[in-house]
Structure 1
Amino acid sequence: MDAMTSSIIFIIAAFCLGAVVIMKREAIPPKMRRWLALFSIAMIAFAFFLIVYALFTMGTGTV
């Protein structure tokens, strides 16, 4: 599995975690909700960084 495939899997997982935290926010205990929200924000921010990095390095790979 190459680095791009791993990045795509991470990006999908980060956005899915964010969606689950938003959809199930009433069912999550308040103390855990805060930490899950912070963790998902950090993962989504890193996922955006990976997307931007992939766009900047697009086309510079070797043949």
Structure 2
Amino acid sequence: MNNESLVIYVIVVLCLGAVLIMSKDKMPPRLKRGMALTAVVMIALAFVFIIYSLLT
């Protein structure tokens, strides 16, 4: 796996999570739930990719 792509992906995902946490009061509930679920999945994948890159 390309390490540069992985680093960029992790940075973007963590920034997305931070933006969602900071703007949680301003979003409608339906949109909030979908965005939070998407962010959780992306953050989990980022950690899986980090572990995978450390093991290979």
Structure 1 position 44 matched with structure 2 position 40: no
Q: Which runs of 4+ in 1 moved over 6 A?
A: none
Give 3-state SS (helix, strand or coil) of 2:12's partner. helix
Identity of aligned residues (%): 43
Q: TM-score, normalised by structure 2?
A: 0.92
Aligned CA RMSD, in angstroms, stands at 1.2
Structure 2: runs of 5+ lacking an equivalent: none
Look up the match of 2:32.
33
Size of the alignment, in residue pairs?
A: 56
Distance 1:3 1:56 in 2: 14
Q: TM-score, normalised by structure 1?
A: 0.82
Structure 1: runs of 5+ lacking an equivalent: 58-63
